Structure 1
């Protein structure tokens, strides 16, 4: 399923240079940190709904370390946004490549001053700023920012990417010759086998325990693996390490060979942001959703289109046409050429059959009940309509539809409709239309939300009303229900009295709440002028005192809005004086009576 992404635009002069330069120039980029390069995550690691698109460079759990331009060029883009990259910079280089630096705390002083000016001019903390080559040129090694923990970061580090400027594809930075020593081969922890005569939505994969040998890995029960299957594929649980580091990283490439011929291979040397959602076709998504291991498929699914798999003659999976034993070799590699192997013999115990794949049978005989990768899917009932575009699923998926019975509980306006389960992914949005159970006043048509839920996971979107039907789009299966939302969000400032004394604080923090958990707008004004509150982690808004709030008494106004426009405005008088740390109360110990 494809989540929020971004594309930036660069100068035409750099686009022409891309075709003339080597794709992976060695030694062109330097370590963007002034400390030795150590990784906490590498390119292509498995994440929720995406591959990791760069390197996470360790900063020893510290923030505010200098970040340097990895090569000469000019700053082309600066972004400030909640979650995601937080504060980040993109530099275009004259060889047709760009570099990205993310989760930054502060930019270099001149850049920070310009960004702050733009935020106040736009009256928005979140900004997307583009630059011409002459505005902020940089030298290799020049200070551009300070490392941090902003955005979706879970701990201090620098996220670093190398980008093909023309295509916006992210390239594997480990192919550019950075000073990292790696003589450690990937570790393979487990192997599973799938029946490829069936859809992935109806699998019971077979676990194959492995043991380490002097030459690699092999099945615990012996090198001969016997199976009743004729069409089958494998997936692995594997990780890589860099010399001297215990941190488990993602693998770079893997392949399957049968009788010496490669039948399938993937290699993660570049990833397009438009294609990164296909990670959910690359992994055993069902097992992941059940809380299990992240297995990587060695053979592509029918609807997989990430570009990481190489095409070979044949179906891309193992097809056994006789009962002889066949030599199978699975090779797993890292970017430094270290590799590990699984070797075994594979033999089917049943005579070959010409029966078609089960997913194909279902598509032809029960098309109305199955979603398939190659065509759109439509479903209509008296009170529900679904529209799923072609390419939204990776294999044939049966429609599992149910509707709750029983009375409606306000503020619900429809019954709860179940569409499949969260164990099957969607690559693109599904349109859901639900019919209201009774007429609704026109004044409430713009106060409707549709909620998707699965267990404790809930997501709410504004919904569109037309002639008794309510429509919204979602990128996951689940339970769907329509509600009316007329309750405005709440926002409060801690403190007592007509004027709140904040002299003991270094910042003002607001954490608004809403009955459906969505705050679509936050605006603060000090004495009638917009005041910049950061919204780094997406839940709280923070203003750290600066020259825009001098000592004295001021009127602070905060306005918050939810998903459907319900709005709350609050006013406070605040007093600020020289910072006075809060007085710590002395602990008193009570004497026990004897």
Structure 2
């Protein structure tokens, strides 16, 4: 698969020392950095967005705009400017069917979750798929192959890939770096007179001697709007702090005519009028995007789904959205005094909301703290880390963690039928930026390595290799792991085909496939012994072959045989066969 993302080096923690409250805003404004009248809208529909740039999603920030398509598919999608199609992609997940257009001004536009491509592009994709006998494809084209003009129809909107409903996903990227840029900075006519919404305040003690209201635990506070743009804590109360303190906020944005809760553009935190934190979601980097899990209070999200945006930045967080920081966005409080705090949340259109609250600093005193963790090792975020126990080995590269970690580990009996102990590898509430390797020792006498694999306590399976009785896998989160067996074949469920059926009135063969544990590795459909394209939709577990000139309708007089072979990651197979007429 063609991989065009250029992975860049992670932001060095030393750079944070330069991002102080005294730093100045860039001299260039969005109007001078990004052309304002160059791109047209990609749809000829009333503008309504269900998602915006920088929105907090699972394990990532959203990197574009989601245009609503009136809950239907099949709307023409237009090239927003002159250029050429540089890339076509098709996948069961992600953007599904996607078009990439390079423009002469140094930007690339991306159109995702499409239903179908324009005829010339569709022909290129289908030719490649039949030549390579594959559905998933990622094709690159030179400038003269598929040129387009502003306003040309390049595709039709759809619901392909990991889409949650019909819409068009639209991005603008820097062609050279492939970094996605906030499309709202390019002057698209998106009506927005709605101020951001603030839903809660959270205050964090960051050291053993820090406290909020005498406690070493995070404290949360409800807020209420008191005017058009002002928020305060409700009920009104005195909040005491001491030591190093961090802050977090629940905030979203809305646009005219839509109830969707979207991402924020800018968040600023001030202490006594001085900025200690300022973030701006103007552009992102795909290599850093998973650090959204460090940007939020990840443990709170796993607990109840709240996405609290922290204003204290972990030293291993590589995101470049943090434009001004003092003490990495935290504040020190000592002695006795009052401190006026202010959160300012803004959108691209200039609407803003402000939360004000007062803190009272107090002298040192007893702190109610959590029970000690009893770590078995201490990991550094900026160095490689290894750990070994009788039944477990772990190794991770530098910058896998966002901050230093007091690592915990234990082992206990696994569920019935497992081929190893269950290994509790730290705590799932701590996010990891990169994958790391674990190896688990199997039970004495175990030999069925062909069907065994590492799984976690949610029965999520990981690609597993073997070495001298050790099962090895790469994982991207902490949690509980053990070795299990997958001996169950995938399941094939025909939707509209059956043995002996006349398919002359059908435009496609449709089936659903699933697997119990390891997941589907491959599928192969044939008609009369020849490979046919099976379009895979991952979210509905559907395979579809659209009849074409290879199998024309002849009123039911032509006889054919359809076969489908599905194989999972442990080589368990299922087969379906049906003779039909057309």
Smaller-chain TM-score range? Answer: 0.7 to 0.9
Per-residue deviation at 1:297?
0.8
Q: Does 1:72 align with 2:89?
A: no
Per-residue deviation at 1:112?
1.5
The aligned counterpart of 1:480 is 481
**Whole-Å separation in 1 of the counterparts to 2:216 and 2:501:** 62
- The answer to which of 132-141 and 208-217 deviates more is 208-217
The aligned counterpart of 1:428 is 434
Within 5 Å, which residues of 2 pair with 1:374-413?
A: 374-405=382-413, 409-410=416-417, 412-413=418-419
Per-residue deviation at 1:574?
2.0
Per-residue deviation at 1:311?
4.1
**Whole-Å separation in 2 of the counterparts to 1:150 and 1:382:** 46
The aligned counterpart of 1:544 is 546
User: Conserved in 2, the CA contact under 8 Å of 1:5 and 1:273?
Assistant: no
User: Conserved in 2, the CA contact under 8 Å of 1:226 and 1:349?
Assistant: no
| TM-score, normalised relative to structure 1 | 0.85
**Whole-Å separation in 2 of the counterparts to 1:304 and 1:267:** 15
User: Conserved in 1, the CA contact under 8 Å of 2:134 and 2:533?
Assistant: yes
Q: Indicate the SS of the match to 1:520.
A: strand
Q: Indicate the SS of the match to 2:550.
A: coil
Q: Indicate the SS of the match to 2:130.
A: helix
**Whole-Å separation in 1 of the counterparts to 2:405 and 2:581:** 61
Q: 1:112 aligns with which of 106, 122, 125?
A: 122
Per-residue deviation at 1:322?
3.1
**Whole-Å separation in 2 of the counterparts to 1:5 and 1:296:** 34
User: Conserved in 1, the CA contact under 8 Å of 2:97 and 2:112?
Assistant: yes
Q: Does 1:468 align with 2:478?
A: no
- The answer to which of 341-350 and 33-42 deviates more is 341-350
Per-residue deviation at 1:257?
1.2
User: Conserved in 2, the CA contact under 8 Å of 1:303 and 1:394?
Assistant: yes
User: Conserved in 2, the CA contact under 8 Å of 1:74 and 1:137?
Assistant: yes
Q: Indicate the SS of the match to 1:306.
A: coil
Per-residue deviation at 1:560?
1.6
Change in Cα spacing, 1:159 to 1:492, as seen in structure 2 (3 Å) is closer
Per-residue deviation at 1:480?
1.2
Q: Does 1:369 align with 2:377?
A: yes
User: Conserved in 1, the CA contact under 8 Å of 2:498 and 2:578?
Assistant: no
Change in Cα spacing, 1:402 to 1:95, as seen in structure 2 (3 Å) is same
CA offset digits 1:390-438 (Å, max 9, x no partner): 32222344434232237x743x321222223332222111211111212
Q: Indicate the SS of the match to 2:513.
A: coil
**Whole-Å separation in 1 of the counterparts to 2:409 and 2:209:** 19
Per-residue deviation at 1:155?
0.9
The aligned counterpart of 1:326 is 339
Per-residue deviation at 1:568?
3.9
Q: 1:231 aligns with which of 244, 250, 255?
A: 244
**Whole-Å separation in 1 of the counterparts to 2:198 and 2:424:** 38
**Whole-Å separation in 2 of the counterparts to 1:496 and 1:59:** 31
Change in Cα spacing, 1:377 to 1:198, as seen in structure 2 (3 Å) is farther
Change in Cα spacing, 1:106 to 1:495, as seen in structure 2 (3 Å) is closer
**Whole-Å separation in 2 of the counterparts to 1:253 and 1:509:** 46
The aligned counterpart of 1:415 is 421
Gaps of 5+ in 1: 10-20, 577-594
Per-residue deviation at 1:115?
1.5
Change in Cα spacing, 1:35 to 1:216, as seen in structure 2 (3 Å) is same
Change in Cα spacing, 1:300 to 1:517, as seen in structure 2 (3 Å) is same
User: Conserved in 1, the CA contact under 8 Å of 2:527 and 2:562?
Assistant: yes
CA offset digits 1:201-226 (Å, max 9, x no partner): x973111222322361222344x743
**Whole-Å separation in 1 of the counterparts to 2:497 and 2:70:** 41
User: Conserved in 1, the CA contact under 8 Å of 2:98 and 2:112?
Assistant: yes
Q: CA RMSD in A?
A: 2.9
**Whole-Å separation in 1 of the counterparts to 2:494 and 2:40:** 47
Q: Indicate the SS of the match to 1:102.
A: strand
User: Conserved in 2, the CA contact under 8 Å of 1:322 and 1:352?
Assistant: no
Query: How many pairs does the alignment contain?
Result: 546
**Whole-Å separation in 1 of the counterparts to 2:94 and 2:444:** 41
User: Conserved in 2, the CA contact under 8 Å of 1:255 and 1:331?
Assistant: yes
Q: 1:342 aligns with which of 351, 355, 363?
A: 355
- The answer to which of 81-90 and 531-540 deviates more is 531-540
Change in Cα spacing, 1:232 to 1:536, as seen in structure 2 (3 Å) is same
Q: Indicate the SS of the match to 2:242.
A: coil
Gaps of 5+ in 2: 7-30
The aligned counterpart of 2:530 is 529
**Whole-Å separation in 1 of the counterparts to 2:431 and 2:293:** 7
**Whole-Å separation in 2 of the counterparts to 1:292 and 1:483:** 29
Change in Cα spacing, 1:188 to 1:484, as seen in structure 2 (3 Å) is closer
**Whole-Å separation in 2 of the counterparts to 1:5 and 1:52:** 22
Q: 1:41 aligns with which of 39, 51, 55?
A: 51
Q: Indicate the SS of the match to 1:271.
A: coil
User: Conserved in 2, the CA contact under 8 Å of 1:66 and 1:145?
Assistant: yes
Q: 2:455 aligns with which of 429, 432, 451?
A: 451
**Whole-Å separation in 2 of the counterparts to 1:495 and 1:161:** 37
Within 5 Å, which residues of 2 pair with 1:164-175?
A: 164-175=174-185
CA offset digits 1:351-377 (Å, max 9, x no partner): 499x9xx99xx99xx874334423333
User: Conserved in 1, the CA contact under 8 Å of 2:375 and 2:409?
Assistant: no
CA offset digits 1:91-145 (Å, max 9, x no partner): 0000110000000001112222222122111111111010000001111111100
Per-residue deviation at 1:5?
11
The aligned counterpart of 2:203 is 193
Per-residue deviation at 1:334?
0.5
User: Conserved in 2, the CA contact under 8 Å of 1:450 and 1:472?
Assistant: yes
User: Conserved in 2, the CA contact under 8 Å of 1:43 and 1:173?
Assistant: yes
**Whole-Å separation in 1 of the counterparts to 2:390 and 2:5:** 44
Change in Cα spacing, 1:196 to 1:72, as seen in structure 2 (3 Å) is same
User: Conserved in 2, the CA contact under 8 Å of 1:256 and 1:329?
Assistant: yes
Per-residue deviation at 1:491?
3.2
| TM-score, normalised relative to structure 2 | 0.87
